């Protein structure tokens, strides 16, 4: 069938290509043009405005720090969770189901959940006060407590974003053939050796997807930070939002959007190079 | 079968003809957005004027929507309700219907001419009709009054007394007790434009980097030592007041109203403090305007007239805490919280050293960047402790460029200018 009519596959993907072109490529080109033009002429004024803004350096630093702190922890926790659940027989589905609950909660809602715990009149302060550990409300989220604020945001992000990594890694673990492990056991390999030499290399495609997805999402972190930190913890997407929404300067907002895209693309390329997956293992 | 078909055709024909009759006047507003307030508008304020579709819109989206309708030439909005500063970019693009006949009628029924003149937005014709007004005040828990410095009158505070009050409260309670709405959606920028700068420098733009301004910022830094650090997350001060996080707060009356109306006996409401140049204060005026090309101009005019009757204006005051634009006496049975707020507004207006500061005019869609100049200065000077004069110099340059770009002339309390308002 495909031999006689080779155009059929192209015809089938045409609607999605058209859809992508219309709703992704066109706005993308418009955004890029908005970022690198000023009054209709090419210009770097917006980029300059962005780079010289007082929050620019801080937002870049915060975004990268958060990514560096959050992604490895998420991958480690997800690997541990995935390995643990692999040993469980009955009730596996229930455990997985409970672990993925944060996945069903929107970013902003997750931020608000953590805000209700960590704000001055929140659950954490009430608990500490009830136990007699503190004598008055402590602030964890103010500009005077940057470390506590950073930890709070990182914890909230880890809580919210680990489930998706775990789902991908559990799917990857399910594909590791049992025979390999059994053979290794026969040759006397311990659990660590089996994990490092067999499991980890075999789930590399899953790990790659999870890393790309999580890193890109970490660079785009916004709602949780906005709920917990507000103005106190500027991040890149938050600055884009401020320029678009509060300052009403769409061009500088577009410059931020383009910067975020470049960083995300660079991170993806690095992962694709660093975690090379054999072509025959690609889906 | 035939019967059913002909009935169907008949029904659809009737519907097709009936729909223009049922069409509602679309009223888009950036004010009275919270669901309780919007419900009051729909169910009480607009009850008797026929079918009105009251739609609320956040200010940035409002600007986008109006611009989109103008560019497309397809108008759905017949009436807009927005702040003076939000209507001014629409007037600059010449997209509002002149409303001189309505203005004449309302002047005759007791709307002050000074207020009506604001609605001209610097043009020769009436651009909007003043709808309701508000301002910013300070509120304090009554238990805070015991810490007032000796000899201080809460209705005539100055900055030194406020600082001492804050110090006393902090020493007594162990925590800073003053709060400002410096969060992402807070109106802190208005504090700088309407209160801080006029009080310390007697201007807003011209005096931005003057020696008076430097002295003012130093004073604010001293005050900030007694301001809770959570202020940079506060959007509306009614919540921290009600939750007991702060005892004293400055904010827009509509953003204090819930706390005060819920427990009017627990609060005192009073004017913002005075600085060396007087007691800066910013009246906020919301107006009603009809966009050019409105599908139902007559309906919109009817709604404006209805909202400008004394009865509706008093109802608005008691239900949502915005005060009348007509000269009317507030009734004695007014909501106790609103009465407290009204008292503070009167005290501010009546204070001998009041310096009126108007909302920025002529900045078009650069209003946000204008606010940012003040908020960035605040962040650098007060939160990051950078040298005051250096910060004011760089931010002043940004401000001067903004003024040059928009060609905005000076507004009160700055002295009038020919051409863009200069930063001296």
pLDDT higher than 70, residue B6: no
Which residues 125-164 of A are in CB contact (within 8 Å) with B? Answer: 136-137, 139, 141-145
Round to the nearest angstrom and report the end-to-end CA distance of chain B. Answer: 83
- Residue B167: closest CA among B183, B144, B188, B151: B144
Contact B183 A141 (CB under 8 A): no
Tell me whether A2 touches chain B (CB under 8 Å): no
Kindly indicate the confidence band of residue B84, based on its pLDDT and cuts at 50, 70 and 90.
confident
Q: Determine the residue of chain A that is closest to B233 in CA distance.
A: A230
Q: What is the pLDDT of residue B3?
A: 63
Q: What is the pLDDT of residue B194?
A: 92
Q: What is the pLDDT of residue A16?
A: 94
Half-sphere exposure of A53 (CA within 13 A, CB side): 28
Q: Residues A237-250: what's their mean pLDDT?
A: 89
Sign of CA dihedral A138, A144, A148, A151: positive
**Radius of gyration (Cα) for chain B, nearest Å?**
23
Q: CB neighbours (10 Å) of residue A66?
A: 21
Any idea which of B61-70, B217-226, B323-332 has the lowest mean pLDDT?
B323-332
pLDDT higher than 60, residue B148: yes
pLDDT higher than 90, residue B359: no
Which of A141, A142, A245 has the CB atom closest to B60's CB atom? A245
Q: What is the pLDDT of residue B10?
A: 56
Q: Residues B127-155: what's their mean pLDDT?
A: 91
Which residues 128-147 of B are in CB contact (within 8 Å) with A? Answer: none
**Percentage with pLDDT > 70 across chain A:** 96
Contact indicator for A125, A65 with CB cutoff of 8 Å? no
Closest chain B C-alpha to A231 CA, distance in angstroms:
6
Q: Show the CA angle centred on residue B81, arms to residues B420 and B262, nearest 5°.
A: 110
Contact A231 B184 (CB under 8 A): yes
Q: What is the pLDDT of residue A180?
A: 84
Residues whose CB falls within 8 Å of the CB of residue A62, separated by 6 or more in sequence, listed in order: A150, A233, A234, A235
Tell me whether B115 touches chain A (CB under 8 Å): no
Say if B25-134+285-341 and B136-282+358-406 have the same CATH topology: yes
Q: CB neighbours (10 Å) of residue A8?
A: 10
Q: What is the pLDDT of residue B11?
A: 58
Rounded (10°) angle between helices B84-92 and B59-72: 20
pLDDT higher than 60, residue A132: yes
Boundaries of every domain in chain B: 25-134+285-341, 136-282+358-406
Per CATH, the number for B25-134+285-341 is 3.40.190.10
Tell me whether B233 touches chain A (CB under 8 Å): yes
Q: What is the pLDDT of residue A189?
A: 83
Any idea which of A87-91, B197-201, B247-251, B397-401 has the lowest mean pLDDT?
A87-91
C-alpha A243: how far from chain center: 23
Q: Determine the residue of chain B that is closest to A245 in CA distance.
A: B60
Q: Residues B83-100: what's their mean pLDDT?
A: 87
pLDDT higher than 80, residue B364: no
Count of CB contacts below 8 A, A vs B? 63
Q: What is the pLDDT of residue A76?
A: 93
Cβ-based contacts of B372 with chain A (< 8 Å): 246-247
Per CATH, the number for B136-282+358-406 is 3.40.190.10
Q: CB neighbours (10 Å) of residue A192?
A: 8
Tell me whether A205 touches chain B (CB under 8 Å): no
Token pair 């690198």 in the structure block, residue: A36
Tell me whether B387 touches chain A (CB under 8 Å): no
pLDDT higher than 90, residue B111: no
CA distance B297 to B136: 34
Q: Residues B31-56: what's their mean pLDDT?
A: 89
Which of A226, A231, A245 has the CB atom closest to B232's CB atom? A231
Kindly indicate the confidence band of residue B4, based on its pLDDT and cuts at 50, 70 and 90.
low
Test mutation, B171, B232, B235, chain A, max A CBs within 10 A = B232
Rounded to 5 degrees, φ, ψ at A182 are: -60, -45
Q: Residues B148-165: what's their mean pLDDT?
A: 91
**pLDDT tens by residue, B336-345:** 888 888 888 8
Tokens of B331: 């009734």
Q: What is the pLDDT of residue B271?
A: 92
Sign of CA dihedral B95, B98, B102, B103: positive
Residues whose CB falls within 8 Å of the CB of residue B371, separated by 6 or more in sequence, listed in order: A246, A247, B189, B193
Contact indicator for B326, B133 with CB cutoff of 8 Å? no
Residues whose CB falls within 8 Å of the CB of residue B129, separated by 6 or more in sequence, listed in order: B99, B102, B103, B106, B116, B119, B287, B288, B289, B304, B308
Q: What is the pLDDT of residue B238?
A: 93
Cβ-based contacts of B184 with chain A (< 8 Å): 226, 230-231, 242, 246
Contact indicator for B403, B420 with CB cutoff of 8 Å? yes
More confident residue, B220 or A230: B220
Q: Residues B79-99: what's their mean pLDDT?
A: 88
Q: What is the pLDDT of residue A130?
A: 86
Which of A54, A139, A247 has the CB atom closest to B230's CB atom? A139
Which of B233, B244, B367 has the CB atom closest to A141's CB atom? B233
Tell me whether A106 touches chain B (CB under 8 Å): no
CA distance A245 to A239: 10
**pLDDT tens by residue, A67-81:** 999 999 999 999 998
b/e per residue B318-356 (b: at least 16 CB within 10 A):
bbbbbbbbbeeebeeeebebbbbbbbbbebbeebeebbb
Tell me whether A52 touches chain B (CB under 8 Å): no
Contact indicator for B362, B414 with CB cutoff of 8 Å? no
Residues whose CB falls within 8 Å of the CB of residue A141, separated by 6 or more in sequence, listed in order: A115, A118, A119, A148, A149, A152, A228, A229, A232, B230, B233
CA distance B327 to B424: 39
Q: What is the pLDDT of residue B270?
A: 93
**pLDDT tens by residue, B242-274:** 988 899 999 999 889 889 989 999 999 999 999
**Percentage with pLDDT > 70 across chain B:** 95
Which residue intervals of A100-231 are DSSP H helices?
Answer: 107-118, 123-130, 146-174, 178-186, 191-194, 200-202, 204-219, 223-229
Rounded to 5 degrees, φ, ψ at B363 are: -85, -10
Test mutation, A54, A125, A142, chain B, max B CBs within 10 A = A54
Any idea which of A241-250, B211-220, B326-335, B343-352 has the lowest mean pLDDT?
B326-335
Which residue intervals of B192-268 are DSSP H helices?
Answer: 197-201, 211-224, 238-242, 257-262
Q: Which domains does chain A have, with CATH numbers?
A: 56-281 (1.10.3720.10)
Q: Using CB atoms within 10 A of its CB, is residue A177 exposed (0-12), middle (13-18) or buried (19+)?
A: exposed
pLDDT higher than 50, residue B178: yes
Residues whose CB falls within 8 Å of the CB of residue B4, separated by 6 or more in sequence, listed in order: none
Q: Determine the residue of chain B that is closest to A244 in CA distance.
A: B60
H-helix or E-strand containing B250?
A: strand B248-252
pLDDT higher than 70, residue B294: yes
Q: What is the pLDDT of residue B19?
A: 45
pLDDT higher than 90, residue B161: yes
Test mutation, A248, A251, A252, A253, chain B, max B CBs within 10 A = A248
Round to the nearest angstrom and report the end-to-end CA distance of chain A. Answer: 23
Which of A54, A121, A242 has the CB atom closest to B379's CB atom? A54
Q: What's chain B's average pLDDT?
A: 87
pLDDT higher than 70, residue B5: no
pLDDT higher than 50, residue B21: no
Kindly indicate the confidence band of residue B23, based on its pLDDT and cuts at 50, 70 and 90.
low
Closest chain B C-alpha to A113 CA, distance in angstroms:
16
Cβ-based contacts of B383 with chain A (< 8 Å): 143
Q: Residues B132-151: what's their mean pLDDT?
A: 92
């Amino acid at each position: 069938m495909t031999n006689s009519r080779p155009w059929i596959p192209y015809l089938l993907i045409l609607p999605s290509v058209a859809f992508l072109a219309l709703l992704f490529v066109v706005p993308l080109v418009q955004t890029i043009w908005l970022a690198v033009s000023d009054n209709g002429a090419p210009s770097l004024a917006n980029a300059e405005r962005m780079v010289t803004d007082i929050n620019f350096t801080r937002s870049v630093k915060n975004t990268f720090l958060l990514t560096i702190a959050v992604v490895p922890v998420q991958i480690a926790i997800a690997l541990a969770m995935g390995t643990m659940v692999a040993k469980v027989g009955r009730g596996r589905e229930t455990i997985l189901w409970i672990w993925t609950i944060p996945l069903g909660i929107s970013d902003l809602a997750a931020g608000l959940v953590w805000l209700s715990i960590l704000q001055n009149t929140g659950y954490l302060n009430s608990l500490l006060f009830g136990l007699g550990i503190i004598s008055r409300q402590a602030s964890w989220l103010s500009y005077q407590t940057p470390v506590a604020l950073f930890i709070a945001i990182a914890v909230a992000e880890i809580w919210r974003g680990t489930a998706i990594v775990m789902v991908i890694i559990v799917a990857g673990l399910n594909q590791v053939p049992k025979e390999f492990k059994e053979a290794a056991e026969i040759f006397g390999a311990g659990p660590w050796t089996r994990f490092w030499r067999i499991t980890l290399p075999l789930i590399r495609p899953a790990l790659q997807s999870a890393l790309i997805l999580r890193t890109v999402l970490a660079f785009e972190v916004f709602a949780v930070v906005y709920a917990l930190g507000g103005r106190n913890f500027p991040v890149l997407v938050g600055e884009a939002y401020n320029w678009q929404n509060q300052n009403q300067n769409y061009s500088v907002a577009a410059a931020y959007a383009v910067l975020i895209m470049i960083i995300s693309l660079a991170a993806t390329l690095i992962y694709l190079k660093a975690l090379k997956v054999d072509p025959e293992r690609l889906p | 079968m035939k019967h059913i078909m002909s009935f169907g055709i008949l029904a659809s024909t009737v519907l097709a003809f009936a729909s223009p009759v049922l069409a509602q006047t679309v009223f888009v507003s950036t004010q009275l957005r919270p669901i309780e307030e919007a419900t009051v508008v729909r169910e009480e304020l607009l009850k008797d004027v026929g079918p009105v579709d009251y739609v609320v819109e956040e200010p940035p989206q409002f600007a986008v929507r109006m611009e989109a309708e103008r560019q497309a030439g397809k108008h759905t909005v017949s009436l807009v309700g927005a702040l003076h500063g939000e209507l001014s970019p629409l007037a600059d693009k010449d997209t509002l219907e002149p409303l001189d006949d309505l203005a004449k009628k309302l002047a005759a029924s007791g709307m002050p001419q000074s207020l009506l003149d604001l609605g001209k937005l610097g043009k020769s014709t009436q651009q909007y009709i003043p709808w309701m007004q508000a301002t910013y005040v300070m509120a304090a828990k009554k238990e805070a009054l015991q810490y007032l410095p000796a000899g201080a009158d809460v209705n005539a505070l100055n900055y030194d007394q406020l600082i001492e009050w804050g110090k006393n409260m902090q020493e007594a309670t162990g925590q800073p007790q003053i709060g400002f709405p410096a969060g992402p959606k807070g109106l802190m920028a208005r504090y700088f434009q309407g209160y801080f700068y006029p009080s310390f420098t007697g201007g807003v733009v011209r005096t931005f980097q003057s020696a008076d301004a430097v002295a003012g910022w130093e004073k604010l830094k001293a005050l900030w030592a007694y301001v809770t650090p959570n202020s940079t997350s506060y959007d509306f001060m009614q919540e921290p007041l009600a939750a007991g996080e702060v005892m004293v707060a400055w904010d827009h009356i509509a953003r204090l109203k819930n706390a005060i109306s819920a427990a009017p006996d627990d609060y005192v409401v009073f004017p913002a403090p005075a600085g060396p140049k007087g007691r800066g204060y910013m009246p906020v005026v919301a107006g009603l305007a009809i966009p050019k090309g409105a599908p139902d101009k007559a309906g919109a005019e009817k709604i404006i007239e209805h909202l400008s009757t004394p009865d509706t204006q008093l109802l608005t005051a008691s239900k949502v805490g915005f005060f009348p634009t007509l000269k009317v006496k507030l009734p004695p049975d007014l909501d106790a919280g609103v009465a407290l707020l009204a008292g503070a507004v009167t005290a501010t207006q009546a204070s001998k050293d009041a310096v009126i500061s108007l909302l920025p005019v002529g900045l078009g869609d650069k209003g946000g960047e204008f606010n940012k100049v003040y908020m960035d200065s605040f962040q650098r000077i007060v939160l990051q402790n950078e040298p005051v004069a250096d910060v004011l110099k760089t931010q002043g340059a940004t401000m001067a460029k903004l003024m040059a770009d928009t060609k905005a002339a000076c507004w009160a309390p700055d002295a009038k200018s020919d051409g863009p308002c200069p930063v001296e």
